[in-house]
Amino acid sequence: MKLIGLTGGAGSGKSTVAGMFRDLGAAIVDADEATHAVYAPGTPGFDAIVEEFGKEFVRDGQVDRARLGDLVFRDPGALERLNAIVHPLVRQWMADRTVEAAGRGAEIVIQDVPLLFENSLEGLYSSVVLVYVPPEVQLQRLVEGRGLPRARAEAIMASQMPIDEKRPRAQHIVDNSGAREETRRQVEQVWARVRSL
C-alpha cells in the first residue's frame, strides 16, 4: 500500500481534487472528517473540549465550532490548548481509517491534510500532492465562494504557510485555478505517476 499526502491552502479546492482521486480508485482519509468525528458528542474529544473551554462552547448538544474557531483565531494560547486535545485524536482516527482501507485491499491511500507542511508531516508519505491556486484566487474563493468576511479570510490564510512556499516541498502539483476539466486532466496525470512509482 502507498500512502500519499494531499494538501493545499484554504480555498484551493482540496476536497474537489480528493473527490477526483476517489473516482480514480484512491481510498481517501480526510483530516477535516477526522476533526468532526473526534468532536462528536459522547467522544473523549467532546468531553475534553467542554472541560477545557466550558459549556458556553456547546450549542444544540454539539461543539460550537464557529465560536471555538473565533476564539482560537484571536488567542494563540487557546489554539495551543485546542490542538493539544484534538491533534492526537485526529492522528489516531486517521491511522485507524488507513489501516481499515489497507485491510479492504486499497493499494493507494491518500490522506487529505490541510496543515501537512505546517506540522512537518511530509516524512509520513511516499509523496505529497499540492493543490495549488494563486493567493489572490484563494482569497476570492474564501470571500465569494464561502461567504467569509474578507478580514476572516485573510486571517485564515495568514495562519497557514503561504501556498507559494509549499510548491517546492511537494512532489506533485495540481493547479486548480482553471477549468474543472483541466484540473481533472492533471489529477489523472498525477494518479498515473503515483501508481507507477
How many angstroms separate the CA atoms of 130 and 36, rounded? Answer: 23
Provide the grid cell at 3.
500512502
Cell of 152: 476572516
pLDDT, position 155:
86
86-110 pLDDT tens trace: 999 999 999 999 999 999 999 999 9
Distance CA 122, CA 111 (A): 11
Q: Which residue has the cell 494531499?
A: 6
Residues 162-195 have pLDDT tens digits of 999 999 999 999 999 999 999 999 999 999 999 9
Q: What is the pLDDT of residue 156?
A: 87
Instruction: Report the CATH fold assignment for 1-26+106-197.
Output: Rossmann fold (3.40.50)
Q: Provide the grid cell at 92.
A: 489516531
Nine-digit cell string for 24 = 480514480
* Confidence label for 197 from pLDDT (cuts 50, 70 and 90): confident
Confidence of residue 135 (pLDDT cuts 50, 70, 90): very high
Cell numbers standing for residue 14? 482540496
Q: What's the chain's average pLDDT?
A: 94
- pLDDT at residue 45 in the model: 95
pLDDT at 59 over 90: yes
For helices 14-24 and 180-196, angle between their N-to-C axes, nearest 10 degrees = 50
Q: What is the pLDDT of residue 152?
A: 86
Give the cell for residue 4: 500519499
> At 128, which helix (H) or strand (E)?
strand 127-132
Q: How high is the pLDDT of residue 159?
A: 85
Q: Where are the domains of the chain?
A: 1-26+106-197, 32-96
